[in-house]
Structure 1
């Protein structure tokens, strides 16, 4: 290994890279459409998936759904 390669690994050890410590956030609840299609829901009032398809974005708590 050359000195240049070893030095590049030390640069990330400082922890200054914001991408390395980014923790993904979970949406507390997915809308009915995203839940049915198993899509990633962003949790907004009208999520991006429903907005793109121009359909109503409805949130129903899991405990209120029929089995």
Structure 2
């Protein structure tokens, strides 16, 4: 009597080419940090009101780096 084969690594061998082209996922960068996050060197999530400003009840404003004095 032969037992049915369970899906093991043998059934996945046809997809070996997927392993050859593995590219590690890099997190996307926020194009610009708000003034508070930039000053404190925190990770800004780039939302209209970022999480750091929302947590502290601050006005979240985005100003390009070249426009700062």
Q: TM-score range by the shorter chain?
A: 0.5 to 0.7
CA distance in 1 between partners of 2:42 and 2:49 (Å): 14
Structure 1 length-normalised TM: 0.68
Q: 1:12-67 CA distances to partner (integer Å, 9 max, x unpaired)?
A: x854xxxx73211110000000000000000000000000001000100011001x
Which one of the candidate residues 18, 32, 41 is aligned to 1:38?
41
Matched, 1:48 2:54: no
Q: Gapped runs of 5+ residues in structure 1?
A: 1-6, 8-12
Instruction: Mark the structure with the bigger radius of gyration.
Output: 2
Q: RMSD in angstroms over aligned alpha carbons?
A: 2.1
For 1:21 and 1:38, how far apart are their aligned partners in 2? Answer: 26
* TM-score where L is the length of structure 2: 0.66
Q: Which runs of 5+ in 2 are unaligned?
A: 1-8, 10-15
For 1:10-49, list aligned pairs within 5 A: 14-15=18-19, 21-49=24-52
Which structure shows the bigger proportion of residues in helix conformation? 1
